[in-house]
Amino acid sequence: MTYETSIILPAKNEAESLKTLLPELRKHFPDSEIIVVNDGSTDNTAEIGTQNGVKVVNHVYSMGNGAAIKSGARNAEGSILVFMDADGQHSPSDINKLLDMFNDGFDMVVGARQLDSHASLTRRIGNTIYNRLASWMTGYPIEDLTSGFRAARARHFKKFLYLLPNKFSYPTTSTMAFFRSGLPVGYVPIRARMRTSESKSHIRLFHDGFRFLIIIVKIGALFSPMRFFLPISGTLLLAGLCYYGYTYYSWGRLTNMSAILFLSSLLTFLIGIVSEQISALHYKDIVETRRRTSRSDDLAADNTHSDA
């Protein structure tokens, strides 16, 4: 059977929430493929999925949210992949809001949580900082960098699977990868629901918040190298010029430290250029596929006019 949409739910010990969520999804999307990825659960998550007649993909042990997303995408047959949490936060009725935007030419649509949907003030502030930092690195406005509620064209998303980490930060990587590839990303405002009482977040705020920051830096170096390396190079150059001005005024000579700062600035700049070229190789196939698709659409439109 061929599906237009595959709905993928990474789940770890989410049996209680799935008892309510899966029937709700079946009611709203009877013709869609629904996949529950059981990430090494110790409860009866897999059994609940089987009882509700959905496809269940099992991990023999917990590999992480990102690994579950990758397993779900590999096993999905739909042309559009919808990802949502299994803990009841995301409303099935919001899925149509994401799907409607594909008619406008978007290749990924993200459900952007409103500020008061976040669990705490600290997370609101943290997500605002991450969104602005990521927006600067990509050059595009990012309304919700870490939202796990999103939909993407399968042919594009599957080409980025090797880049996605196995833990919880797949939304960050996929968002930046689509922007870097020139694939349109849209946002739909949503309101996250309360988790079920039995379900708890697997994110540790301070530890994982620092990891999010490191991930953004790593992804910036991979997807937008010049935006990452150029400010560092400029800072080293400015420091070298200031120190040289000080030593020249004080002793009338160029010191070794000034020379080291100048060389470091040059080397950092050259590393950025090389990284930019290497980064472009990740998206060569995506750009070529999009070019062929656009050419096919143009030919189809021409044929339609000719027939008319």
Structural domains of the chain ordered from first start: 5-220 (3.90.550.10), 225-307 (no CATH)
Q: Can you tell me the distance from the alpha carbon of 118 to that of 213, in angstroms, rounded to the nearest whole number?
A: 18
Judged against a pLDDT cut of 60, whether residue 213 lies above it is answered with: yes
What pTM did the predictor assign?
0.77
Q: What is the pLDDT of residue 252?
A: 86
Judged against a pLDDT cut of 90, whether residue 1 lies above it is answered with: no
Highest mean pLDDT of the ranges 63-72, 116-125, 195-204: 63-72
Name the pairing type of β-strands 80-83 and 150-153. Answer: antiparallel
Judged against a pLDDT cut of 80, whether residue 15 lies above it is answered with: yes
Q: Which of 111-115, 149-153, 192-196 has the lowest mean pLDDT?
A: 192-196
- Greater pLDDT, 218 or 301: 218
Please check whether residue 40 is in contact with residue 62, taking contact to mean a CB–CB distance below 8 angstroms: yes
